[in-house]
Structures are given as C-alpha cells and as structure tokens.
Amino acid sequence: MQYPQPDTPISPLRQRLIDDMNMRRFSRETQRNYLRDIGRLATFLGRSPDTATADDLRRFQIEQQNDGVPVPTMNSIVSALRFLFTQTLDRPDLARRLVRLAHPRNLPVVLSRDEVARLLNATTCLKHQAALSVAYGAGLRVAEVSMLKVADVDSERMLLRVERGKGGRYRNAMLSEDLLTLLRQWWKVGRQQGVMHRDGWLFPGQNAMKPISTRQLYRIVVEAAQAADIAKRVGPHTLRHSFATHLLEDGTDIRIIQVLLGHAKLNNTALYAKVATRTVRTVTSPLDTLGLFKPEEAFPDG
C-alpha cells in the first residue's frame, strides 16, 4: 500500500527514498521515523545527505554521543541512514561506516493474567475492548492492530492476516475462538453504528475511512490500566509482551512464539524467558533430585 504524500514539492532524493520505502511496504510510522532521522543528518550537514562523506558520518555520530542522544535513538538513526545509503543511494561503503552501539535491554513490563483480564474489562466500549484483546490475544504490535482490515480476519483457518507488519513483512497471527466471538460482536455493533464495512478497517478511527491511530490506542490502554488500578507502566506493547510471556509459561515452544510475534531473530523472543516466572517455578532443581534433605518446618519469612 502506497501512502498518499503531501502536494507540496519535495526533492527528487526524498521522493526516491519514499518510493523505496513504499516498494518494501514500510508502515506509515516507519516511513515517518526514517524521514525524520535522515533529516537529522541533513540538518547537521547543512546540505543534502547524498553529499555526505565517511568523515561527515563519523563527526555526526560523535556529536550525537556528545549531545547525550540515547543509545536506542542513535541506533534507530543508524537503521534509517543504512537504508538510505544501501537501498536509495547504492553506497554500501558509507553504510558500513555507521556504528551501532550495544546497550543492555530492559526487561519488558508484563501483566499477570488477572491484570490483563481487569484491564480488558476496564475498557469503555466494545471497540476498545476488541482492539486491546487483539493486541493481547494475537500478540500484535500496536501499528499492526491499527492497520487490520475486516478482510484480514480469516475465520475458516482461524488466522489474522498481518499485511503491514514490521519491515513490511507478511505473517499470519493466531485467532482464538474467544477472540473471534468478540470480533463478531464488534462487527455486529459496528455495522449498527454505520462505521464497519466489509472492505473497511477492523477498528475505524473517528473518521470511519481512516484506521484508529496508534496514539489513540496508547491512550486507551493507559486509561484502562488506570481504571483497573494497575500501578505498572502500561502501553499497547505491554499486551504483546504479556502474550509472549504467558505462552512461554504455558510450555509453548519458543520458536513457535517467534513465528507468532514475527521476530526475525530468536534472541528477541528469548528475552521473555527472563520474565516468565511461572516457567522458572516449574523447573526441578538438580539438587532436589539427589534426595539428600528431608522437608522441615516452614522457613520463616523476613
């Protein structure tokens, strides 16, 4: 899907970059981020980024570091610039000059099953409950939830077709019986409200011709968490984290979870093993198998 571009004139380089991103079916959010991050380099240079030299890129990254730009932000800029130099400008020699910094990943915030249930029940309308249930029940990213269409619900094969995943990749997500029941309820209500159409968005925004925005979905999650008296810092991605963690705790193979999440690398999925406390509790210590010690009275707390 090619996203409409503004009528104001844009440079040939910018248009080529947009065409390259459209060809790879990058999401609207990814395109916006790439254009913004490449614009940072243009601002630093004071000229078009296609005139950058290896020394320019080195000075640019040093300045970012000196200015205290967070490591995740610097790495996101590297991703955008590597795409520009590799795909649009055919200058892989410059792309190799860009340094990606290592940084420790924070453990994701995960809700308990009870907290997820409370959060979903705290939503204010059926559309919001259905959208957040898709995020948790299928493990979708917030942008993927936003861009779902009615036709993406495949009730025969019990799948959700994700056509606008990260990096423009296609994949099939799981569709449970309970989630299908909820989506059918939302379809009936949405049709009565006149906002649902067979070829339209699964979760329309205020304008039924446009999908619900990721910003609105974030606000919905935060408000539902507050109403459910959940003190954790919660966002739409928290539901995806909880989906993966709960599957792992239930014994689902980590490679299956990788496929369901659409992760390109297994080590991204493996992060959930660090927060799957139920999995840790079910493991038998090799010390216990020795049978050396007999149970004593309860160990005092504190």
According to the model, what pLDDT value does residue 302 have? 47
According to the model, what pLDDT value does residue 219 have? 95
What is the C-alpha to C-alpha distance for residues 168 and 26, in angstroms, rounded to an integer?
5
What is the C-alpha to C-alpha distance for residues 8 and 80, in angstroms, rounded to an integer?
23
Domain boundaries for CATH 1.10.150.130 within the chain = 12-95
Q: Does 272 participate in catalysis according to the annotation?
A: yes
The answer to whether 179 and 137 are in contact (CB under 8 A) is: yes
According to the model, what pLDDT value does residue 280 have? 52
Q: How far is CA 177 from the centre of its chain?
A: 24
Domain boundaries for CATH 1.10.443.10 within the chain = 113-281
**Given 97, 127, 128, 166, which residue is catalytic?**
166
According to the model, what pLDDT value does residue 164 have? 62
**Given 272, 278, 281, 294, which residue is catalytic?**
272
According to the model, what pLDDT value does residue 256 have? 80
**Given 141, 164, 241, 246, which residue is catalytic?**
141
Per-block mean pLDDT, blocks of 10 residues, the chain (302 long) = 54 92 85 93 94 94 91 92 94 92 77 93 94 92 92 92 68 89 94 91 90 93 95 92 85 79 69 59 56 58 50
What is the C-alpha to C-alpha distance for residues 21 and 28, in angstroms, rounded to an integer?
10
According to the model, what pLDDT value does residue 129 have? 95
The answer to whether 50 and 13 are in contact (CB under 8 A) is: yes
The residues that bridge with 201 in the sheet, in sequence order, are 149
Domain 113-281 - what CATH class? Answer: mainly alpha
According to the model, what pLDDT value does residue 44 have? 94
According to the model, what pLDDT value does residue 290 have? 56
Burial class (CB in 10 A: 0-12, 13-18, 19+), 45: middle
Q: Which element (helix H / strand E) includes 59?
A: helix 54-66
The CATH label, of 2.60.40.420, 3.30.70.890, 1.10.150.130, 3.90.170.10, for the domain at 12-95 is: 1.10.150.130
DSSP-based three-state secondary structure for 11 = coil
DSSP-based three-state secondary structure for 174 = strand
- Give pTM, 2 decimals: 0.66
DSSP-based three-state secondary structure for 201 = strand
Q: Does 240 participate in catalysis according to the annotation?
A: yes
* 51 residue type, one letter: T
The answer to whether 49 and 84 are in contact (CB under 8 A) is: yes
Q: Does 237 participate in catalysis according to the annotation?
A: yes
For residue 244, give the nearest of 230, 236, 254 by alpha carbon: 254
**Given 28, 171, 263, 278, which residue is catalytic?**
263
Q: Does 141 participate in catalysis according to the annotation?
A: yes
**Given 40, 161, 237, 278, which residue is catalytic?**
237
